[in-house]
Amino acid sequence: MTPTLTQNDLLEYLYTEQSHEEKKRLDDYLAQDSSLSEEYHDFLSLKDDLGTLERSPDKAVIDNILNYSQNFVQA
Amino acid sequence: MKKQENNDSQLVNDYKNGNEKAFEELVNRYKNKIFTTILLIVKDHYLAEDILQDTFIKAIHTIKAGKYNEQGKFLPWLGRIAHNLAIDHFRREKRHPISELEENENWLDNLNYTEHSAEALHIRKETHNQLRMLIQLLPEKQREVLIMRHYADMSFQEIAEATGVSVNTALGRMRYALINLRKQMTNNKFEYDPNTYPK
């Protein structure tokens, strides 16, 4: 019997946390279920949007961190 | 596709053995993800930079003392440090992060927009602004999981352990976070009202 797909499975699939076998099972489900596929692609699009929010710190801050590391002496 | 010349474990090991370039590679590899993790919690650019420094300083002490033992999981480990320091800041201040939302409305203003079209730029900026506000409006537990998973790169198992819940609960919170964001993003009548922030 094929195990039932849960919404949590879809989340793990979205964030690629599944085993190869589980991924294959989800691939098959998505190919057969248009509503599930739609939900997955909605989540995927949102995930991409979240990725665009990434920000960079000021270069001086990074320089401070690197300088600290170079001058750090273990007690 | 970006080539990963050395894996994180190798870089950490090299750094432990005195190779400062290895540390520089790790910092440059993950500075944006860690900075964004912190910024989404504290919503203040300069405070986020201070906490970013504290995060890496803690990492320096731990690695150079030979106490780092999370082989291959450097980013989630660093993400946990950053998250804890950001949360600790608000515990010390005894106030909720949302109190700074309005006075720091421009924390996302310096994004590097690459689109040439003015219209595309405008839409992109609007989407960022809306998404940023919507993340703040998520219930705290959903927002926490979203930041930990998406920016700190912690697995659902690691999030579950860090927050003291089951993996299924962490997954459920993430799912509701995404559903809520998607619902609000498609709602044209959305208007930001700080009074609707969920407790």
Alpha carbon distance B69, B73 (integer Å): 9
Cβ count within 10 A of residue A34: 9
Q: Which residues of B touch A7 (CB under 8 A)?
A: 171-172, 175
- The whole-number pLDDT of residue B185 equals 81
Going by C-alpha positions, the residue among B124, B133, B130, B110 that lies closest to residue B46 is: B110
Whether B108 and A42 lie within 8 Å, measured CB to CB: no
- The whole-number pLDDT of residue A53 equals 86
0.90 cut: is pTM over it? Answer: no
Phi, psi values for residue B35, rounded to 5°:
-60, -40
Q: Which residues of A touch B124 (CB under 8 A)?
A: 52
Alpha carbon distance A14, A74 (integer Å): 42
Substitution target from A54, A68, A74 for chain B, most B beta carbons within 10 A: A54
What would the pLDDT profile of B1-44 be if each residue is shown by its tens digit? 444 556 998 999 999 999 999 999 999 999 999 999 999 888 89
From the list B31, B110, B175, which residue is nearest A62 (CB)? B31
- The whole-number pLDDT of residue B96 equals 52
Q: Which two tokens stand for residue A52?
A: 């665009």
Indicate the DSSP class of residue A2. P
Alpha carbon B181 to its chain's center: 17
Chain A interface includes B131 (CB < 8 A)? yes
Q: Are B163 and B145 in contact (CB under 8 A)?
A: yes
